[in-house]
Amino acid sequence: MHNNIAIIIPCYNAHETIIKAIERVLVYFPEPKIIIVDDNSPDKSAELINERFSYDKRIKLILRKNKGGRGSAVLRGFQEGLKNKNIEFFIEMDADLCHDPKYIPIMISKCNMFDVVIASKYLKESIIKGLNVKRIIFSRIVNSYIRFMLKVPITDFTNGFRCYRREALEKVDFDSFYSKGFILLSEIIYKIYKKGGSFGEIPFNFVHKEINKSNFNFAEIKEAFITILKLKYNFR
Ligand SMILES: Nc1nc2c(ncn2[C@@H]2O[C@H](COP(=O)(O)OP(=O)(O)O)[C@@H](O)[C@H]2O)c(=O)[nH]1
Ligand SMILES: [Mg+2]
């Protein structure tokens, strides 16, 4: 059972949490395909993963030379997973324990009805813990801006905890992306939407811990606003 699922985890400087994140996935899925894409993290996350899992066939570590952005790392993971024709469902989740794998079975079952299912921080039943007020307000503004611009009927465009069906990903031209960072999460939604894809959301508890230093920076914010404009007005 569940041998048709790949779990993609982008990893950058996550050595404090990545092993636990993998182990938590294994609690729910004893035989998953886990693909971790690490961009040569200076904190040596990759070494740690290798020490613990190098003989474990379920876990594949893809090492890239340079920090290429969270979104682009996930695309790399999708490309790897798509090579295996048995895989039907592609889960994307963070390495920093903000995304509890207990929601994965719920996302997958809902994904039988939708092309993409998103764990949303902004549904009525969702709970956000540990995120400072500035980040919450910023995320709300960004999400309102994206929804206003792109008109896709979902509430959370920026959370990287999702399930995609194979057919949805196969419709996407992986060479056509404008962005590389977190905004790629919105770009991929828009691309699937334009191809007629359908979207479902589930509420979840987003739990942010103090140890989670964000990789998020000004360059990514700039990229976000420009990418949305490019998508809306269709220019390069
Ligand atoms: N491979 C790779 N992973 C990244 C990069 N930037 C962020 N990540 C990972 O993407 C996820 C989300 O990043 P995070 O810094 O927690 O962003 P935040 O949650 O928006 O503050 C985590 O699993 C990070 O380890 C990157 O440039 N390359
Ligand atoms: Mg995070």
Q: Report the residue among 215, 217, 218 best suited for mutation to probe ligand 1: largest number of ligand atoms under 8 A from its CB.
A: 215
Domain 5-233 has CATH 3.40.50.300: no
**Residue 73's pLDDT is what?**
98
pTM (2 d.p.)? 0.96
pLDDT in tens, 209-226: 877 678 878 999 999 999
**Residue 221's pLDDT is what?**
92
Does position 1 have pLDDT exceeding 60, yes or no?
no
pLDDT in tens, 47-104: 999 999 999 999 999 999 999 999 999 999 999 999 999 999 999 999 999 999 999 9
d(CA 69, ligand 1 centre) in Å:
7
Residue spans per domain, the chain: 5-233
| Ion ligand 2 residues within 5 Å by Cβ | 96, 212
Cβ burial, residue 195 (10 Å; 0-12/13-18/19+)? middle
Alpha carbon distance 184, 178 (integer Å) = 8
**Residue 52's pLDDT is what?**
96
